[in-house]
Amino acid sequence: MMVNDKTVDLAVVGGGMTGLAFAVATAGAGADVAVIDPLPVPLSATAPFDGRVTAVARASHYLLDGIGVWPALRSAAEPIIDIEVSEHASPFRVFYDHREVGGEALGHIVENRAIRHGLIEKAKSLATTTLTLAMPDKVKRLTRGASGVQIMLDSGRVIRARLVIGADGQNSMCRREANIDVMRFDYGQTGIVATIDHEHAHHGVAVERFFPDGPLAILPMQGHRSSIVWAAENGLAQDLIALDDEAFLGELEERFDQGLGALGLAGPRYHYPLSMAQAHRYTDHRLALIGDAARKIHPIAGQGWNLALRDVAALAELTIDALRLGLDPGSASVLARYERWRRFDSLALIAITDGLNRLFANDVLPLKLAREWGLGLVNRVPPLKRFFMQHAMGLVGDLPRLMRGDAL
């Protein structure tokens, strides 16, 4: 063995937000963990604002607090006090009032760079004990044997583990290495993301408005700023991308009259194609997939990273429980439990986000009337509204301990 070779319990391929969250959770609970990523630690921790934010649901807030990361994010997090959902040119809407579910914020909007910074700082604090950061480094060869995993890195180092966690995104090398097929669907939409500043306060209200050519969301950020996420049909998206800043803001003001006053762009505009992906399975021999390596969903409900964190919480609970009992965290029984636990939740949320996008992208009169009836019904029936609010906060279903606010 080389001097820098390492033997650990768990090896995480991918040092993005999901991979780091899993590494911090399990290393903080006493597991020996290694994280492998080509991005250097300093660059990951100090990356400039890139326009992207994350809606952190309340259950995800519990997890981040439980693994010691939330204190570093608190000052950068803008509470989502209320949520308004409506359809363009319709008198009906659903207004989710935080007072109906205990008075706490429904979630928080946090810039991705702040999340990365908080995770990296926590990881660095664990790096002298239970966490190894192989950053920068890349996987050259991954060998999964009967009793463990051997990972040869580009640097020449070798990391040996009992389980490898694929947190390496939608084009996952780990998934390809295991020959796991993926079901994909192209939505024919482009996501346009930008940060705007505005004259008047947003009062912590997140707004989602549905148009026949795609949904548009305005998410409250700190100060007089908001993040927009516009899922536009590809043809419209190309026209919007081609506009200068002033014309783009004019189109935005035409669709959103929220009393925010004069609008301005607080940074560049970004765009990316929207698609759905679902791995045929989330596990293989001594391998588990989490986050976008397992599935990718439409951003319509802002649940992508919250779904990934439920992967993190479930797999962390199963592997840590196995280690505490002196069992193998990469055993077939642990992986089978993870697959069963996460499969239904993922399929359900894929169905919900895909169904909402298709339902509201259709302007056929009977469907439009049904949508208006549904929005009106939810808004008038408090138990039904509270259920949807609890679901948006991530508090529905068979939740892992970390998502309930309990210790790992």
The number of beta carbons lying within 10 Å of the beta carbon of residue 257 is 7
Listed in sequence order, the residues at least 6 apart from 117 whose beta carbon sits closer than 8 Å to its beta carbon are: 45, 46, 72
Is the sign of the CA dihedral 152, 158, 160, 165 positive or negative?
Answer: negative
Q: Which residue has the tokens 């927009």?
A: 228
Query: Distance between CA atoms of 280 and 276, rounded to whole angstroms?
Result: 13
Query: Distance between CA atoms of 178 and 144, rounded to whole angstroms?
Result: 9
Listed in sequence order, the residues at least 6 apart from 126 whose beta carbon sits closer than 8 Å to its beta carbon are: 24, 27, 28
pLDDT at 255: 86
Would you say 121 and 45 are in contact if contact means Cβ atoms under 8 Å apart? yes
Nearest to 114 by CA among 57, 74, 66, 168: 74
Distances in Å between the Cα of 53 and the Cα atoms of 102, 109, 191, 314 are 26, 7, 13, 24
The number of beta carbons lying within 10 Å of the beta carbon of residue 358 is 12
Digit-by-digit pLDDT tens for the chain (408 residues) are 444 799 999 999 999 999 999 999 999 999 999 999 999 987 766 766 667 899 999 999 999 999 999 999 999 999 999 999 888 777 778 899 999 999 999 999 999 999 999 999 999 999 989 999 999 999 999 999 999 999 999 999 999 999 999 999 999 999 999 999 999 999 999 999 999 999 999 999 999 998 888 889 999 999 999 999 999 999 999 999 999 999 999 999 988 877 899 999 998 999 999 999 999 999 999 999 999 999 999 888 788 999 999 999 999 999 999 999 999 999 999 999 999 999 999 988 888 888 777 767 666 556 666 666 667 667 777 787 888 889 889 998 899 999 999 999
At 274, phi and psi to the nearest 5? -105, 130
pLDDT at 389: 85
Bridge partners for 233 per DSSP: 189
Q: Assign domain 6-183+275-403 to its CATH architecture.
A: 3-Layer(bba) Sandwich (3.50)
pLDDT at 59: 97
262, burial (CB in 10 Å: exposed 0-12, middle 13-18, buried 19+):
exposed
Would you say 34 and 24 are in contact if contact means Cβ atoms under 8 Å apart? no
pLDDT at 42: 78
287, burial (CB in 10 Å: exposed 0-12, middle 13-18, buried 19+):
buried
Bridge partners for 57 per DSSP: 107
Question: Can you read off the two tokens belonging to residue 288?
Answer: 């588990």
Helix, strand, coil in percent for the chain, rounding step 5: 40, 30, 30
The domains of the chain are located at 6-183+275-403
Query: Distance between CA atoms of 8 and 160, rounded to whole angstroms?
Result: 6
pLDDT at 107: 96
Query: Distance between CA atoms of 245 and 269, rounded to whole angstroms?
Result: 9
pLDDT at 89: 72
Within a 13 Å sphere around the CA of 380, how many CA atoms are in the beta-carbon half? 7
pLDDT at 387: 84
Q: How many residues does the chain have?
A: 408
pLDDT at 212: 84
Question: Can you read off the two tokens belonging to residue 367?
Answer: 């469907």
